[in-house]
Amino acid sequence: MHTMFNNYNINHKAFTDKALLQNIGASIKHLRLKINKTQAQLAADAGVNRSTLIELESGGGANLLTFIQVMRALGRLDFMNFFEIETELSPLQLAEMQAKYKKRQRASKSKPKDDKKSDW
C-alpha cells in the first residue's frame, strides 16, 4: 500500500491534487486500522463527525483543522516536523552579534600584589 508515511521515493509532484487526497485518505485509514479503531472511535477521539472522517478517508478532502485533529487522535503529529522553520542569521545579524560579544569581553583585572608572604 502506498501511504504518505512510508514511501519517500514516490514523485508526489506527478500526482494530481485528487490523487494526493486519496493517498492521504488511504494513509489515515491504514493508520486507523493498524491501531484497531473503528471510524466511530477515531472520529470521537478526534472530535469530528464520523461522516467527516469517512470523507477524509475516501479522499474527498477536509479542512486543515480536521486533518490535524484526526492526526492528533492517531498520535501522528510527527508530520509537523516538515513545517518547522529553521531560523538563520543574516551575515549582518551575525556580524552585529560578534561585535556585541567582543565588546562584552573585558580583560580581567589583575589582583593587587600582596607583599605579605604566606605563613606556609
Q: Which domain holds residue 67?
A: 42-78
Residue 103 lies in a domain: no
CA distance 25 to 48: 15
**Residue 94, CA distances (Å) to 90, 100, 102 in order:** 6, 10, 12
User: 27 exposed, middle or buried (CB, 10 Å; 0-12, 13-18, 19+)?
Assistant: buried
Q: pLDDT digits over 6-56, tens only? A: 556 677 778 898 999 999 999 999 999 999 999 999 999 999 999 999 999
Q: Domains in the chain: how many in total?
A: 1
Q: Which residue type occupies 43?
A: A
pLDDT at 116 over 80: no
Mean of all residue pLDDT scores within the chain: 83
Q: Which residue has the cell 503529529?
A: 77
Residue 102 lies in a domain: no
pTM of the full predicted structure?
Answer: 0.64
Residue 50 lies in a domain: yes
Q: Which residue has the cell 472520529?
A: 43
Residue 58 lies in a domain: yes
Residue 47 lies in a domain: yes
Residue 60 lies in a domain: yes
CA distance 33 to 42: 10
Q: Cβ distance 55 to 21 under 8 Å?
A: no
